[in-house]
Amino acid sequence: MKKIKIGGQAVIEGVMMRSERAFTVAVRKTDGSIKVKEDIVSSLSEKYPILKRPLLRGVVVLFESLVLGISALTYSANEAAEEEVEGELSPWVMGMTIVFALALGIFLFLIVPHIATVYVDQFLSWNMGVETLRFHLVDGIIKVAIFIIYLFSISILPDIKRVFMYHGAEHKSIFTYEAGEELTVDNARKYPTMHPRCGTSFILIVLLISIILFAAIFPIMPKLLEIPKLARNLIYISIKIPLLIPIAGISYELLKLAGDKRKNPILKFISLPGIWLQKITTKEPSDDQIEVALAALTQAVEIENGKTVFKPDKK
């Protein structure tokens, strides 16, 4: 049986799994049964091989994960609420949702930190321009602080706590598969809830890489001292936005290396902050939640290999 690369995402009362060709979502319904949606998907990189190259493939994976993640969340919310909804999200609705999600991310983690750093500079009279390393260190600290505060805030909500439990179940099931063990709840239960290739780690790596890249690029840019301060900072922000593309590409490559069991100590060190952060975004799941994650994983493996490997524990 061919070993496949697989990743996932926690959704409402369930788990989504994505492999090279498979897209599955398993949801625990109110009657206790598990409903699984499965589909065949193909990446843009299959149609355009150039997108498989390092740095480019990370951007493709990020975009496709966003599209499939929104689709999985919508499906799981409908199933968990026992709502009958015909059809999928229209391309227009999906497009607007993606645009809103990207705009919110840019606002919270790029615009707000930049403006906040400008005001910190004014308040403390540090005289640090955007061309200085200190500016981007302060900007980066504010980004990470916003991210951590956001995670802590939503983790208090009961519904989000359950999503984080399913997040832990997703990681346990993937660990079990990667270890080559039989996919049972008993086998999955012993594994940790934190995984080195988690999306939480990816976001944190993006924030850290942005500090390094901005600190390297802005000092060598032409100075804009003659332009009014407000306009100057708007220009700087507009330059930062397209730089998110190479930042995402670099971050994806680092995340892939961090997930390699043969990784060197430096990569292991780089992955540690993301692992620590998963103490917020993952919780210890119940056996029923692990079973849902294994069901989603099973269907993905079945699509790839044509063989059922999931064996639910007897009640």
Tell me what pLDDT residue 290 has: 97
Per-residue model confidence as pLDDT tens digits over 158-198: 989 999 999 999 999 999 999 999 999 999 999 999 988 88
Determine the residue type at 283. Answer: K
Mean confidence (pLDDT) of the chain:
85
pLDDT score of 106: 92
Q: Is the pLDDT of residue 141 over 80?
A: yes
Q: Does the pLDDT of residue 219 top 50, yes or no?
A: yes
Average pLDDT over every residue of 114-138? 87
Tokens representing residue 194 in the block: 């934190």
CA distance 185 to 264: 31
pLDDT for residue 312: 53
Instruction: Give the separation between CA 67 and CA 208, rounded to whole angstroms.
Output: 24
Q: Over the stretch 55-98, which tens digit does the pLDDT of each residue have?
A: 888 888 888 888 898 889 988 988 877 665 555 666 777 788 88
Instruction: Report whether pLDDT(128) > 90.
Output: no
pLDDT band at residue 2, thresholds of 50, 70 and 90? low
Round to whole Å and give the CA distance between 7 and 168: 13
Tens digits of residue pLDDT in 9-55: 999 999 999 988 899 999 999 888 999 999 888 888 888 888 888 88
pLDDT bin (cut points 50, 70, 90) of residue 202 is confident
All structural domains of the chain with their residue ranges: 7-305
8 A C-beta contact, residue 205 and residue 274? yes
The answer to whether 174 and 280 are in contact (CB under 8 A) is: no
Phi and psi torsions of 134, nearest 5°: -60, -40
DSSP string, 154-196: HHTSHHHHHHHHHHHHHHHHHHHHHTT--B-HHHHHTS-S--T
pLDDT above 70: residue 99 = yes
22-28 and 34-40 strand pairing: antiparallel
